[in-house]
Amino acid sequence: MPDHVRIFDTTLRDGEQAPGIALAEAEKLEIAEQLARLGVDVLEAGFPASSAGEFEAVRRIARNVKGPVIAALCRASDGDVDRAWEAIRDAQHGRLHVFISTSDIHMDSMLRMSREDVLEATRRAVRRARGYTEDVEYSAQDATRTDPEFMLEAFHAAVEEGATTLNVPDTVGYALPHEFAELVRAAREAMPEHVTISVHCHNDLGLAVANSLAGVLAGARQVEVAVNGIGERAGNCSLEELAMIVATRGQATGLAHGLHVKEIARTSRLVSKLTGYPVQPNKAVVGANAFAHESGIHQHGVLMNRATYEIMDPTAIGYEGSKIVLGKHSGRHAFADALAGLGVRLEPDALDRAFARFKDLADRKISLTDADLEAIAAEELGAGVGEAFVMESLAVAGGTHLSPTATVRLRRGEETVEDSAMGDGMIDAAYGAIGRATAVAATLVSYNVSAVTGGSDALGDVVVQLEVGGRLVTGRGLAPDVVEASARAYLAAINRALAVTSTEEVSA
Contact residues: Zn ion, CB under 5 A: 14
| 70 touches ligand KIV by CB under 6 A | no
| 171 touches ligand KIV by CB under 6 A | yes
User: With respect to ligand KIV, which residue has the nearer C-beta, 14 or 241?
Assistant: 14
In the complex, minimum distance from the CB of residue 409 to Zn ion, in angstroms, rounded to a whole number:
44
End-to-end CA distance of the chain: give it in Å, rounded: 37
| 200 touches ligand KIV by CB under 6 A | yes
Q: How many angstroms separate the CA atoms of 398 and 213, rounded?
A: 54
Report the amino acid identity of residue 80: D
> What does the angle CA 164 – CA 168 – CA 169 come to, to the nearest 5 degrees?
130
Say if residues 350 and 385 touch (Cβ distance below 8 Å). Answer: no
In the complex, minimum distance from the CB of residue 106 to ligand KIV, in angstroms, rounded to a whole number:
10
Strands of 442-451's sheet, edge to edge?
Answer: 442-451, 460-468, 471-479
Strands of 390-399's sheet, edge to edge?
Answer: 390-399, 402-412, 415-422
User: With respect to ligand KIV, which residue has the nearer C-beta, 204 or 428?
Assistant: 204
358 touches, from ligand KIV, Zn ion, none (C-beta below 5 to 8 Å by class): none
User: Taking Cα atoms as reference points, which of 434, 350, 361, 356 lies closest to residue 391?
Assistant: 434
User: With respect to ligand KIV, which residue has the nearer C-beta, 174 or 447?
Assistant: 174
Residue 27 gets the label, from left (phi > 0), alpha (psi -120 to 50) or beta, of: alpha
**Binding-site size, ligand KIV (CB under 6 A):** 10
In the complex, minimum distance from the CB of residue 387 to Zn ion, in angstroms, rounded to a whole number:
34
Cα torsion angle, 219, 225, 230, 231, sign: negative
User: With respect to ligand KIV, which residue has the nearer C-beta, 14 or 153?
Assistant: 14
Residue 413 gets the label, from left (phi > 0), alpha (psi -120 to 50) or beta, of: left
User: Taking Cα atoms as reference points, which of 181, 219, 223, 175 lies closest to residue 198?
Assistant: 223
In the complex, minimum distance from the CB of residue 342 to ligand KIV, in angstroms, rounded to a whole number:
31
In the complex, minimum distance from the CB of residue 13 to Zn ion, in angstroms, rounded to a whole number:
8
**C-alpha 195, offset from chain centre:** 28
In the complex, minimum distance from the CB of residue 66 to ligand KIV, in angstroms, rounded to a whole number:
25
User: With respect to ligand KIV, which residue has the nearer C-beta, 103 or 474?
Assistant: 103
| 137 touches ligand KIV by CB under 6 A | no
In the complex, minimum distance from the CB of residue 479 to Zn ion, in angstroms, rounded to a whole number:
36
Exactly one of 169, 215, 460, 477 binds ligand KIV (CB under 6 A); that residue is: 169
In the complex, minimum distance from the CB of residue 10 to ligand KIV, in angstroms, rounded to a whole number:
7
Residue in the shown chain whose Cβ atom is closest to Zn ion:
14
User: With respect to Zn ion, which residue has the nearer C-beta, 14 or 135?
Assistant: 14
Q: How many angstroms separate the CA atoms of 163 and 119, rounded?
A: 14
In the complex, minimum distance from the CB of residue 81 to ligand KIV, in angstroms, rounded to a whole number:
14
Say if residues 184 and 218 touch (Cβ distance below 8 Å). Answer: yes
User: With respect to ligand KIV, which residue has the nearer C-beta, 14 or 379?
Assistant: 14
| Subset of residues 325 to 354 that bind ligand KIV, contact rule: CB under 6 A | none
99 touches, from Zn ion, ligand KIV, none (C-beta below 5 to 8 Å by class): ligand KIV
User: With respect to Zn ion, which residue has the nearer C-beta, 216 or 396?
Assistant: 216
User: With respect to Zn ion, which residue has the nearer C-beta, 76 or 344?
Assistant: 76
141 touches, from ligand KIV, Zn ion, none (C-beta below 5 to 8 Å by class): ligand KIV
Report the amino acid identity of residue 369: T
In the complex, minimum distance from the CB of residue 416 to Zn ion, in angstroms, rounded to a whole number:
45
Say if residues 18 and 277 touch (Cβ distance below 8 Å). Answer: yes
Q: How many angstroms separate the CA atoms of 465 and 442, rounded?
A: 10
| Subset of residues 94 to 113 that bind ligand KIV, contact rule: CB under 6 A | 99
In the complex, minimum distance from the CB of residue 219 to Zn ion, in angstroms, rounded to a whole number:
21
Exactly one of 14, 374, 380, 484 binds ligand KIV (CB under 6 A); that residue is: 14
Return the beta strands (E) in 239-389 as ranges: 255-256, 324-327, 367-369
Query: Which SS3 state, helix, strand or coil, does residue 338 take?
Result: helix
User: With respect to ligand KIV, which residue has the nearer C-beta, 237 or 361?
Assistant: 237
User: With respect to Zn ion, which residue has the nearer C-beta, 14 or 379?
Assistant: 14
x/- contact string, 285-314, with ligand KIV (CB under 6 A)?
------------------------------
User: With respect to ligand KIV, which residue has the nearer C-beta, 62 or 208?
Assistant: 208
Dihedral in degrees, nearest 10, Cα atoms 346, 352, 356, 357: -30
Q: How many angstroms separate the CA atoms of 425 and 170, rounded?
A: 45
In the complex, minimum distance from the CB of residue 106 to Zn ion, in angstroms, rounded to a whole number:
13
x/- contact string, 139-168, with ligand KIV (CB under 6 A)?
x-x-------------------------x-
Q: How many angstroms separate the CA atoms of 272 and 244, rounded?
A: 19
User: Taking Cα atoms as reference points, which of 467, 468, 475 lies closest to residue 493?
Assistant: 475
Q: How many angstroms separate the CA atoms of 397 and 357, rounded?
A: 24
The residues of the shown chain that bind ligand KIV, judged by CB under 6 A, are: 14, 99, 139, 141, 167, 169, 171, 200, 202, 508
